[in-house]
Structure 1
Amino acid sequence: MSADPNIKGVGLVEEVFHGEQTGVEIEQNDSTASQIADPWDPEKIRVSTKNFSLRNILDMIDSEDLDLAPDFQRNRVWKARQKSRLVESLLLQIPLPAFYFAEDDDGLLRVVDGLQRLSTIHGFVRGKEFRLADLEYLNQEQGKRFGDLSPSLQRRLHNAQIVAHVIDPTTPSEVKYDIFKRINTGGEPLNSMEIRHCMSRSRSRTFLKRCTSSEIFHKATGGVLRDHVRMHDRESALRFLAFRMLDDIEQYDSVGSLERLLDEAVTKIDDPTRVSDSELDRLFRDFERSMQKGYTLFGKHAFRKWPTTSNYRSPINRALLESWCVALVDVDEVFLTQHRDRIVTGARKAMTNDYLYINAISSSTGDPARVNRRFAVARKLLEPAQ
């Protein structure tokens, strides 16, 4: 599905990943959008270098002292040949590139760089997930699982040395994110939500999974965000939650950037002293309620650009989803049903003729003026008719 050429002035570009369209519109952000809002002091960086045996690393993964960020879709990218060649390198005693870990105050380590490599090694040694195939040198080991290897080769794997650069917990979180973006060595660069997922705790990951597993979420978004390969499902839910947790949209101006708002939201959700279990339950109900109301209003065009010039079903637009869901959550559904035609007509006209609004949902979407613009338009359209 490609952008409809008849939609003029709306700016539709659907994201493509590994040659497949993802069903989500690209947000055309400035190159500075992903940078830290305020410069940070290099003196705050605390990184130490440590050596681990592979046996030690596997034990840490099993005991959950080293977190591999479960439920990370990008782990599926590696093919059988890549996995086998990695194990072969270890059997040949070829040193692996250094890993990066981030340490929490409680001593828990999270993988910052090297997630796919460690997942592969753990899957081979502990999980028996695959057999060695398409090896380059050790042809006699073809088709073998870990348990089929000779004791000497098993010891070689267990005794292999891993070099890891460990980011100290005193390093500010925004600096950790920036370090991740700079040193990420994956074949396909991780986006901000994928980085956030790797560095967050299980509480926020579990809650975002709960939100994005909701059937009304899939219905309202046409199913295109189900287990999304770029984690745009989690980001969409988090954007709603982050803005919903603000006392007033005007507070956003003091946050500095959308990325910082989302980072802070994850930090809050991960801390039960800041967001209790009952508050999470309330936020989940708010999320489902807003999804239902968005679908009630816009049907199959919910959270998609839908100008008056076309009935083409556009890709999901995350700025529309976040702003309309927050605006809709406390609006009476009977009111929405009664005024649906007027609200939808107004929204479509804004998507066609209001270029400030079009810009606010298309590019530099974290800019405070544009955030305020798209929220103001949605709120205005939901007011009772004069």
Structure 2
Amino acid sequence: MTEQKTGIPSEELFEGEATGLEIEDASEGAVSHTPWDPNKIRVTTKTFSLRNVLDMIDEKSLELAPDFQRNRVWKARQKSRLVESILLQIPLPAFYFAEDADSMMRVVDGLQRLSTIKDFVRGEGQERFALTDLEYLHDEQGKFFTELLPALQRRLHNTQIVVHVIAPTTSPEVTYNIFKRINTGGTPLNAQEIRHCMSRSRSRDFLRRCAETEEFVTATQGSLRSNVRMGDREVVLRFCAFRLLSVADYKKTDSIDSFLLKATRQIDDPRQASNVQLAELETSFRRAMRNAQIVFSEHAFRKWEWDQKGRNPINRALFESWSVALADLTESDVTSRAEAIRSAARDLMTNDTYYFSAITTATGDPRKVEYRMQKTIEAARAK
């Protein structure tokens, strides 16, 4: 099997700005996907007033996925036009919430809209905003919520929204797939943003903490710092997934998305990943980042062939394989063998066409995952 190399890898863009990550073709190849069992899908439709919803957010019975950067991406005009639509009594599109066994609900679809409404009505500091660039309600231009006429404040509070609630008996995998299917409005969320919205604070806090470590920021040259598409959390999660689980576990799942969702649920559950295990996981992650910096310097987790000039974006497949391969090696060992490891890695990327394919196309194919992991581990042992 060969892979035709086609020059400098393309970097992902978001709203015209580079994200620091190489575009990934994660198609899985010949993988059979488990069909849904319609009998296990439970979705009920309810009606809430916006006042009800805001109270639920205050009471923490409805979670807006804190630390989610994308809910701050909307421009002032977009936010104001949404509020104006509500004040004009234009019906909002339906929302989706997911309910868990503890009756806690999370926003599955409509996060940006609800975040905007919350910021306008209850926001403080930088979250608070005044209406601007309105199309019809010119008299309300420049006003904060508290400055609106009482009748308009009541109109907003009393606005009814339709919410489809996904019951806790629906499996996380099915909920994730429902999320992907309905995720079409505005700027659609990517896979990691969906997992973030579905997860609990335990995994969210852990991934954020690892992504903010000095070791990670240094190894990635700061290119993923506070990544607006949560690319930093995604690559950390990929490391965690292959440390907590295994390639054999991966081969039993439908896709990289299913595998990462399984790892997220494991981190969220103290019975599956204790505090001690998470502390050990963070320690090994930090060690892997230090070792990657020692070996590859500014080219860590990036394609780096022998004839290459310049520096490429971070490649997810290289991140997961090299971070795992370096996690159990001591810094003194890696330092003494850095040149040999670096040469072995560059030889792989330059001369092993199937390895290059495994980090470039159909990267979710279990055969390619297994091959690149095996070859990367072998390269990390080079002397």
| TM-score, normalised relative to structure 1 | 0.94
CA distance in 2 between partners of 1:380 and 1:100 (Å):
46
Counterpart of 1:321, as a letter, is F
Counterpart of 2:25, as a letter, is Q
| Matched-pair contact (CA < 8 Å) for 2:28–2:255 | no
Alignment of 1:103-114 (within 5 A): 103-114=99-110
Alignment of 1:34-45 (within 5 A): 37-45=33-41
CA distance in 2 between partners of 1:184 and 1:257 (Å):
19
CA distance in 1 between partners of 2:307 and 2:37 (Å):
50
Q: Tell me if 1:66 matches 2:67.
A: no
| Matched-pair contact (CA < 8 Å) for 2:202–2:267 | yes
Match of 1:224 in 2: 223
**1:167-215: per-residue Cα shift (whole Å, max 9, x none)?**
1111111111111111113322211111101111111111111010111
CA distance in 2 between partners of 1:42 and 1:32 (Å):
26
Alignment of 1:94-173 (within 5 A): 94-128=90-124, 129-173=128-172
Counterpart of 1:328, as a letter, is L
Match of 2:281 in 1: 283
CA distance in 2 between partners of 1:149 and 1:36 (Å):
56
**Which moves more between the two structures, 327-336 or 225-234?**
327-336
| Matched-pair contact (CA < 8 Å) for 2:28–2:363 | no
Counterpart of 1:130, as a letter, is F
Match of 2:306 in 1: 308
**1:27-83: per-residue Cα shift (whole Å, max 9, x none)?**
1233879x9831111222111000001111000011111111111121122111111
Say if 1:364 and 1:345 are closer, same or farther in 2 by CA, change over 3 A.
Answer: same
CA distance in 2 between partners of 1:261 and 1:31 (Å):
12
Match of 1:323 in 2: 321
Give 2:77's match in structure 1, choosing from 71, 81, 93. 81
Say if 1:18 and 1:40 are closer, same or farther in 2 by CA, change over 3 A.
Answer: same
Counterpart of 2:100, as a letter, is D
| Matched-pair contact (CA < 8 Å) for 1:113–1:185 | no
Match of 2:25 in 1: 28
| Matched-pair contact (CA < 8 Å) for 1:203–1:269 | yes
Deviation at 1:125, TM superposition (A): 0.5
**Which moves more between the two structures, 53-62 or 252-261?**
252-261
CA distance in 2 between partners of 1:180 and 1:36 (Å):
21
Secondary structure, aligned partner of 1:339: helix
Deviation at 1:382, TM superposition (A): 2.4
Match of 2:46 in 1: 50
Alignment of 1:140-289 (within 5 A): 140-246=139-245, 248-289=246-287
CA distance in 2 between partners of 1:231 and 1:151 (Å):
39
Secondary structure, aligned partner of 1:230: coil
| TM-score, normalised relative to structure 2 | 0.94
Counterpart of 1:216, as a letter, is E
Q: Compute the RMSD of aligned alpha carbons.
A: 1.8
Secondary structure, aligned partner of 1:137: coil
| Matched-pair contact (CA < 8 Å) for 1:36–1:178 | no
**1:321-355: per-residue Cα shift (whole Å, max 9, x none)?**
11111111111222211221111111101101111
| Matched-pair contact (CA < 8 Å) for 1:36–1:174 | no
CA distance in 1 between partners of 2:305 and 2:25 (Å):
19
Counterpart of 2:156, as a letter, is L
| Matched-pair contact (CA < 8 Å) for 1:208–1:234 | yes
Secondary structure, aligned partner of 1:69: coil
Q: Percent identity?
A: 58
Instruction: List runs of 5+ in structure 1 lacking aligned partners.
Output: 1-6
**1:129-153: per-residue Cα shift (whole Å, max 9, x none)?**
1001111121111111111112221
Counterpart of 1:344, as a letter, is R
Counterpart of 1:21, as a letter, is A
Q: How many residues align?
A: 377
CA distance in 2 between partners of 1:133 and 1:249 (Å):
52
Say if 1:181 and 1:251 are closer, same or farther in 2 by CA, change over 3 A.
Answer: closer
Match of 1:334 in 2: 332
| Matched-pair contact (CA < 8 Å) for 2:27–2:363 | no
Secondary structure, aligned partner of 1:87: helix
Counterpart of 1:28, as a letter, is D
Counterpart of 2:206, as a letter, is F
